[in-house]
Amino acid sequence: NKESLVAAGEVVRRRAARSGAWILPVDSEHSAVWQCAIAASEEALSRVILTCSGGPFLGYSRKELVAVTPEQALRHPTWSMGNKITVDSATLMNKGFELIEACRLFHLPPERIEVVVHPESIVHSLAAFSDGSVLAQLGLADMKMPIRFALTFPDRSKRPESEWFDLLHATSGALTFLAPDDDVFPSILMARDAVRQGGLMPLVLNAANEAAVGLFLDGSIDFQRIFSLVGGVLRDFNHMSSINESSFNAMMAVHQEVQEDVIRHAEIAAV
């Protein structure tokens, strides 16, 4: 799953290479990039552009985010998902994780992966190439499509859904692309920094976020506090950037230590 590639992506890649297995993405964004870049060499793929809906709080200020409730955060404008990933989508941390995932899957540095806000959720992602061309994949907001593509690859199975262009053409046809507001939603920057630092920092990010979201969902912290807790713990554990090799048990121990640190920070702030 996504978190496995975020926390231990290099381990997963090495084991897949040793066994001769392929890692086929089923996240809609990464499936979109894969479909666009499938015939291109790694050298030809110059940039990946991941899209996100912007979540239910697109356009909110920091002050407005403080008053957000778990019930509001769990109302995603496009997708129906579990509670934790829905909150991750609201904070844009899910997109930060997908940036790290794209680094692992497409062997690209974080500098060559961009995120744009696309409220219509029609374009699932784009791939830019060295000749200046850009390919985009359009589709319904339905996970059956990327899952079906991975299961039937290299073939494309017939499906009952209408082609998305038919529906797009029948409506306004508008496609909007905006820059994410990193001042209000710093999750993408934190993810970019974590993968750039390397080592176990993506694991630290994942563990810290998981604990902070849990505290928000049970009412212990406000929505805005998720960002400061995760950012603080990333600073506490920045020495993990130097650890490149670790056993599964050691990684789980770091995961647990990080989560305990998040809870400790939250308790200190509450006193």
Torsion of CA 47, 9, 75, 147, to 10 degrees: 80
pLDDT for 13 beyond 70 = yes
* Confidence band of 207 (pLDDT split at 50, 70, 90): very high
Tell me the per-residue pLDDT of 48-100, one tens digit each, with 9 for 90 and over: 999 999 999 999 999 999 999 999 999 877 767 889 999 999 999 999 999 99
Residue 15, token pair as written in the block: 């084991």
Residue 55 backbone zone (phi > 0: left; psi -120 to 50: alpha; other: beta): left
Q: Give the span between the Cα atoms of 67 and 161, in whole angstroms.
A: 39
Please give the pLDDT value at position 39: 85
Torsion of CA 180, 77, 91, 199, to 10 degrees: -80
Closest C-alpha to 122, from 177, 160, 73, 48: 177
- Parallel, antiparallel, or unpaired for β 45-52 and 123-129? antiparallel
Instruction: Kindly provide the residue ranges of all beta strands, DSSP E only, lying in the chain, ordered along the sequence.
Output: 45-52, 113-117, 123-129, 134-138
Full-prediction pTM beyond 0.95? no
Greater pLDDT, 186 or 15: 186
Instruction: Kindly provide the residue ranges of all beta strands, DSSP E only, lying in 9-149, ordered along the sequence.
Output: 45-52, 113-117, 123-129, 134-138
Angle between helices 187-197 and 201-217 (to 10 degrees): 150
